[in-house]
Structure 1
Amino acid sequence: MKTPKRIQPLVEEGLIDEVLRQLMSGKEATMYVVRCGDEIRCAKVYKEVTQRSFHQAVAYQEGRRVKNSRQARAMEKGTRYGRKMAEEVWQSAEVDALYRLASAGVRVPTPYICFEGVLLMELVTDADGNVAPRLNDVELNRDRALAFHAMLLQQVVLMLCVGVIHGDLSEYNILVDAQGPVIIDLPQAVNAASSSVASTMLERDVTNLSHFFSNFVPELVNSQYGEEIWNLYQAGLLTPDSPLNGRVAAPTEPVDIHAVIHEIELARQEEDQRI
């Protein structure tokens, strides 16, 4: 196929030899299958901010910083240069998260390079060498659903142990290869230590998983794995091998009203950005 304009610089640099086909177009990027020498890989071309339906919401930007004070001021003022810097921070968040998680043993695509707004990474395939399906397209029964749910909880725990929360985890951004689930799409990854809504994001991710798998294992719908995992993390007790049972004792402490108000304010600001 004709080389897309955004990929042409990678071809000129010798990073990509040929664009084979478009794989899919999502809310934040368009994916292509490309050839790099003898390897078949995936090129993720990030869409411009004006073309994305998934906006850089306040909750996801919180905790992301740039070292250069000029860049930080420009981002705060929303200047043209600042918007460019914000885009680079948005894109680098996924690259940084992929390298960090891959090193921690999390099942994510292997990243190779991010150049001119294009992320070159491993193409996840199934047992037959075809592009791996999304979790929502995989045929499941009770036993397989239980196994995949346990595997994904383990991945969530591994991620949190290195301070990363996916932030948008669901059956639509999980692929299934020959060994099981592979987590993808991480530009909205949340830093657990610096985000005031980290616990909310973590619990939402885990609840999404429980709700999906409850179609095959009904009792999962009432599980509390997200809260259990976060409580262990907050207490400094979470390890990759922490046993989980999905149950949490009823709280005895009063509700933190200020934290609730803060989350409501973040949600309001996020809604304002969409208008």
Structure 2
Amino acid sequence: MKKELEGKIKRLDNSVDKLRIKRKDSDSLKVTENVFDNATLKALYTLSNKGIVQALGGSISTGKEANVFLADGEEEEIAIKIYRISSSSFRSMEDYILGDPRFSNIRHNKRDIVFAWTKKEFRNLMRAKQAGIRVPEPITTERNILIMKFMGENGKPYPLLKDIKIENEDGQMIFETVIDYMHKLYVDANLVHGDLSEYNILIDPEDITPIIIDMGQSVTLEHPRADQFLKRDIENILRYFKRYKVNESPESIYARIKEPEN
């Protein structure tokens, strides 16, 4: 068992080294300091020891708060989202954490906020999936690391909505599905996404269906700013889909989303 664990740790070490080699010196230093600090590496080792992470692959995306990496799981490819503790925006996270009754007892320091945020995204994804919304299936969390099923094929992630070119008819179909997702999220999952836009929606090229991602900031309806966040999501979606001849009003979409199930 010890040799097997050492082998897993060595593979992770080698994979991290390869990630550094692929980057320029300045980028390498940034990734090393902000993502693969000692605590995060230990958390990856824990996940490796549990058999959840078999080998770490290349970078999928880099966001304001987190980096996402491709990895091999037990039976399939997985996505590893690592929230950067040292450089995450503590204040912006607090806006979404404070007021969420699920996290009323956390301490107000950067590390605990980031750990709570990671668990929050896991729980939000679980709720969304249970409500029938297509999202990356969450697998587990460890400190500032969220493990999800990989949304893509052959190591290549599905494209973001903002990056694809489609006909008006397909755009209108995607719009209707997104509004249905927002309705299910509100009525069935008791959540508002809070940052929904063409930057947080993947498109499965095979059937042109949307996949909602980045749900760390999603809040329950009890949050004091939930209604404000919902209206902002609606404005973002309507702004984008105007290019596909969607001319709905914010008020009509707001009513559709909040309409109770029959």
Same-fold call, TM > 0.5? yes
In structure 2, how many angstroms separate the alpha carbons of the residues matched to 1:55 and 1:108?
A: 26
Matched, 1:201 2:229: yes
Counterpart secondary structure, 1:214: helix
The match for 1:186 is 215
- Report matched runs for 1:39-54 at 5 Å: 39-48=76-85, 50-53=86-89
The match for 1:9 is 46
Shift of 1:218: 5.4
In structure 2, how many angstroms separate the alpha carbons of the residues matched to 1:40 and 1:21?
A: 12
Structure 2 gap segments, 5+ residues each: 1-13, 17-35
Shift of 1:85: 2.9
Counterpart amino acid of 1:116? R
Q: Tell me the percent identity.
A: 23
Matched, 1:171 2:184: no
The match for 1:62 is 98
Shift of 1:22: 1.1
Counterpart secondary structure, 1:99: helix
CA contact (8 A) 1:28 1:54 kept: no
CA contact (8 A) 2:90 2:113 kept: no
> Which of 151, 159, 162 is matched with 1:133 structurally?
159
Aligned length: 222
CA contact (8 A) 2:94 2:113 kept: no
In structure 1, how many angstroms separate the alpha carbons of the residues matched to 2:132 and 2:63?
A: 26
Shift of 1:190: 1.0
Counterpart amino acid of 2:169? D
In structure 2, how many angstroms separate the alpha carbons of the residues matched to 1:106 and 1:238?
A: 17
In structure 2, how many angstroms separate the alpha carbons of the residues matched to 1:11 and 1:133?
A: 28
CA contact (8 A) 1:203 1:226 kept: no
In structure 2, do the counterparts of structure 1 residues 174 and 42 end up closer, same or farther at CA, with 3 Å as the change threshold?
Answer: same
Shift of 1:57: 4.6
Shift of 1:90: 1.5
Counterpart secondary structure, 1:215: helix
In structure 2, do the counterparts of structure 1 residues 102 and 117 end up closer, same or farther at CA, with 3 Å as the change threshold?
Answer: same
In structure 2, do the counterparts of structure 1 residues 129 and 227 end up closer, same or farther at CA, with 3 Å as the change threshold?
Answer: same
Q: Output the TM-score relative to the length of structure 1.
A: 0.73
Counterpart amino acid of 1:91? T
Matched, 1:238 2:260: yes
The match for 1:254 is none
Q: Deviations over 1:82-115 (max 9, x none)?
A: 4433222211110111111111111111111111
Shift of 1:62: 3.2
CA contact (8 A) 2:136 2:211 kept: yes
- Report matched runs for 1:75-114 at 5 Å: 75=107, 78=108, 82-114=109-141
Matched, 1:211 2:239: yes
Counterpart amino acid of 1:51? S
CA contact (8 A) 2:234 2:253 kept: yes
| Structure 1, 208-217 or 4-13: larger mean CA deviation | 4-13
Q: Deviations over 1:54-84 (max 9, x none)?
A: 843554123224678xx55xx2xx4xxx443
CA contact (8 A) 1:135 1:175 kept: yes
In structure 2, how many angstroms separate the alpha carbons of the residues matched to 1:85 and 1:155?
A: 30
Counterpart amino acid of 1:151? T
